[in-house]
Amino acid sequence: MTRQDHLGKGKQVSPFDALIAGSISGGAARMLSAPLDTIKIRLQLQTNRYKERINPWQMAQNIIKGEGITALWKGNVPAEALYVLYGAIQFSSYTYLNNQFNRLNLNPSAQTLLIGTISGVISTALTYPFDLLRTRMAANSQPGFVSVSSVSRTIMKEHGLKGFYLGFVPATVSIASYSGIMFCTYEWAREFSLRFQKEVPFVEGFCGFIAGTVSKGATFPLDTIRKRTQVQKIKISLVEMAKRILRVQ
């Protein structure tokens, strides 16, 4: 029996079509959200205690005043590559795995959770160096832009090739946890919303919003640990970085 592909609304989508769709949607999303991402990264890298931290609006003002408005797009070159490739790999691997797993007659919810987690980890592993470059470039508060090649040389000098995977462990734990929480929350919200489906026209979208918000909030500490680890000059473990944040802040 053929199961529905949630991304294809029941249609059989080829990995190539999914790859193109994922690339376009990923690139467009990145271009529009770049300033918010830069502000988020700067906020995550603050080492001041809670009462001494600045809010997103103040951070945006500081960046524009000290570095110019274009600084809100720092790190956008590797970030565009990250989003395009991540979207392409995630969509195509999800579609491919879904077509393969359909033969196993698994529980639809379990299949979606499993495939979502696997495709997320695969996408993260293959695109992680771009994520690290994006973070390092966005974290640079000096006026002007640094090039991708310059940041790459610094990473190579400090850590060698393995330096491009600093923070990969919390990233992997984060994406696996995110997928699990998101799909479980979505299923719960969807079951709860069935009683309102006839009265509320956008109930499916609302369920997706709830699932995304809950999963992002639950895994945000892991994302902060990853960002902090990515800008370190020495290798530091997930546990040690978590302890350092709790101790200092």
DSSP calls for 131-166: HHHHHHHHH--SSS---HHHHHHHHHHHH-GGGGGT
- Measure Cα distances from 9 to 95, 114, 165, 181 in Å: 12, 18, 35, 22
Q: What is the pLDDT of residues 193-249, one digit of tens each?
A: 777 666 566 777 777 888 889 988 999 999 999 999 999 888 888 899 999 988 887
- Could you tell me which residue, 174 or 28, shows the higher pLDDT? 174
What is the helix (H) or strand (E) element at residue 102, kind and residue range? none
Q: Are residues 30 and 100 in the same domain?
A: yes
pLDDT digits (tens, 9 = 90+) for 85-98: 887 888 788 888 88
Same-domain check for residues 118 and 52? yes
- Residue 54 confidence (pLDDT): 82
> How many domains is the chain built from?
2
Q: How far apart are the first and last CA of the chain?
A: 54
| Confidence check: pLDDT of 1 > 70 | no
**27 and 84 in a common domain:** yes
Indicate whether 132 and 58 sit together in one domain. Answer: yes
Same domain membership, residue 69 and residue 8: yes
Tell me which of 64 and 54 has the higher pLDDT. Answer: 64
- Give residue 123's domain range: 1-141
Cβ-contact 130, 79 below 8 angstroms:
yes
**Tens-digit pLDDT profile for residues 159-198:** 999 999 999 999 999 988 888 788 778 778 777 777 766 6
Q: Is there a domain that residue 3 lies in?
A: yes
Which amino acid, 30? R
d(CA 243, CA 239): 6
Assign residue 86 the CATH number of its domain.
1.50.40.10
How far, in Å, CA of 202 to CA of 71, rounded? 37
Do 133 and 240 share a structural domain?
no
Q: Using a cut of 0.95, tell me whether the model's pTM lies above it.
A: no
Positive or negative: CA dihedral 211, 212, 217, 219? positive
Same domain, 173 and 71: no
